[in-house]
A and B are shown apart, each in its own frame.
Chain A
């Protein structure tokens, strides 16, 4: 007769003592070199932080409508300058001068945040996300232009030449990535096409934009293009920059998506083929939904690079948040407060890019988890 098999009950792992000290040892004091580096870092932080803290916060001038307060307090930062000019730095000259109109960009910004949150988090069921994506791609840009530019429904006109600041940075970066996205998909599919002509065209297009720095492309778009166009056609400066950024970004988006496409196993194509799917079905229903998900971290990374690159539009005379902040410290009113304006725009860029980079990391972790299942 066979013996009865009795499974062994599980027992907890042996517990390790004082995890905090172990962690310190492992991370900061695990070799003579790391001990030296740790002590050195502590010394550097010790000597910088109190000074920075005093200058930026404790001794800073926070209030005041002109520079008298700041001039009386040369050992502290002059945040009053940025408080007075805040809306100009965030929204550009028109809205800086017309504070009663700032609700227009603010409404758009709020909508943008809500849409981005709903699309990127997984709170909405797939079908609604598709509709919202359509809304974001087609209706939202029109709405943005209508409300921010005005000129209809009795809204005051805010000419694009008066756009600027963080608003312009966002419009160029987000507009660029959104417009580049469909183009990037087409280019990525084209690059993997079995038709040599299509493939060749896609490769040439992608490599052309990748081989040129954005600053060159912006320069060409703003200075060379008008030479080729008949003089009565005048293309808006913001629109020209947006087109240049879109073309530039589409090449990077295409490469990110191509990476995603390459990660889809051959079996998915074979299963789709065997079920009778045609090319557009296979791509649209099976391959792209998976490939795009995989390429989100890579796309976000190229977007972070683009976001920072938008400061380059300064060379074609557009005032993004960095240049707008600069105008403050170059105005006669607030001349000389350069550190404040640089630190302010650095902080804005840091918050946006750090947020995006954390987002892309969390997506990556999530994808890794899913792949393990």
Chain B
């Protein structure tokens, strides 16, 4: 039980009448790296956003680090304290410096004294190789740099699980690799990670499992070698052919 970081059981979600997520079942072990892929609109974002309750599911269970997500606000707070998230468009706070972006949450939520919070933030900024920009504002950084700051910002809350929603798809090609490198480094520290991404190179080298979604369902789930060389479902084959052609 305790070696499972995330359990999703028979989870369903609707937007009005639209059935976005259909009977999702998934388990993520502590330290595991999962890559989620699938065509646009298949529900990948919606699924991982359910894990930290940015979206609410309507039936089934989601259990994160032993805490069941329910309407109870306490459980939501507890889960969010364990889970960090990176977004496609970074969503840094533009009115705060890079350093303040990283310290504001620890200072106000976990009541870490300013000096300690700043020291920790500098350590994480160091790790994502952007410490020299700490006093700049997000608007002064490139997309790749902003995304690395966003990763550092999440890490400053010392999460056990990190969620990534297409962290590189808003980036120019030249900046993708610096973000992926940061994610690979993070993976090496043993972090539990769920990444929605179409970077198949990253999936091959880092993922323990690849999950393929379409039409709100998990179509196929396999270790990377099997997933890429020997997909079981025709839908998966079609998808892989398409992204390889690009």
Interface residues of A (CB under 8 A from B): 265, 267-268, 270-271, 273-278, 281, 285-286, 289-290, 293, 370, 373
Contact = CB atoms under 8 A, between A and B. Distances in A.
Contacts of B150: 271
B105 A277 contact: yes
Interface string B79-109: 0110111010101111100000000110011
A267 B109 CA distance: 19
Given A270-B54, A276-B80, A286 B87 contact: no
Contacts of B157: 275-276
B52 interface: yes
Contacts of B85: 271, 274
Given A275-B105, A275-B154, A267 B87 contact: yes
A273 B80 contact: yes
The listed residue with most A CB atoms (<10 A of its CB), out of B54, B140, B153, is B54
Interface residues of B, number: 26
B150 to A, nearest CB: 8
A169 B1 CA distance: 71
Contacts of A293: 95
A276 B77 contact: yes
Nearest to B53: A273
B190 interface: no
B113 interface: no
B93 to A, nearest CB: 6
A290 B77 contact: no
B112 to A, nearest CB: 13
A373 B139 contact: yes
Given A274-B80, A276-B157, A289 B95 contact: yes
B87 A370 contact: no
20 contacts: A267-B89, A270-B91, A271-B87, A271-B91, A271-B92, A274-B54, A274-B80, A274-B83, A274-B154, A275-B80, A275-B84, A275-B109, A275-B154, A276-B81, A276-B109, A276-B157, A281-B108, A285-B104, A370-B139, A373-B139
A277 B108 contact: yes
Interface of B: 52-54, 77, 80-81, 83-85, 87, 89, 91-95, 104-105, 108-109, 139-140, 150, 153-154, 157
Contacts of A271: 85, 87, 91-93, 150
Contacts of B77: 276, 278
Contacts of A277: 105, 108-109
Contact of A268 (B54, B83, B93, B109): B93
B155 to A, nearest CB: 11
Main secondary structure of the interface of A (DSSP, over half): helix
A156 to B, nearest CB: 47
Nearest to A266: B91
Contacts of A273: 52-54, 80
Given A274-B52, A276-B157, A293-B95, 14 more contacts: A267-B87, A270-B54, A270-B87, A270-B91, A271-B85, A275-B109, A275-B153, A276-B77, A276-B81, A276-B105, A277-B109, A285-B104, A289-B95, A370-B139
4 smallest A-B Cβ distances: which pairs? A271-B91, A267-B91, A373-B139, A274-B85
Contacts of B54: 270, 273-274
Contacts of B154: 274-275
Contacts of B140: 373
B141 to A, nearest CB: 10
Nearest to B80: A276
Nearest to A284: B108
B79 to A, nearest CB: 9
A327 to B, nearest CB: 48
B228 to A, nearest CB: 31
B170 to A, nearest CB: 11
B139 A268 contact: no
A287 to B, nearest CB: 10
Contacts of B91: 265, 267-268, 270-271
Nearest to A273: B54
A191 B92 CA distance: 26
A290 B105 CA distance: 17
Nearest to A275: B105
B211 to A, nearest CB: 21
B93 A286 contact: yes
Contacts of B108: 277, 281, 285
Contacts of B81: 276
A314 B154 CA distance: 58
A190 to B, nearest CB: 20
Given A281-B109, A370-B139, A274 B84 contact: yes
B116 to A, nearest CB: 17
A290 B108 CA distance: 18
A78 B225 CA distance: 96
B194 to A, nearest CB: 13
A29 B108 CA distance: 61
Contacts of A270: 54, 87, 91
Contacts of A276: 77, 80-81, 105, 109, 157
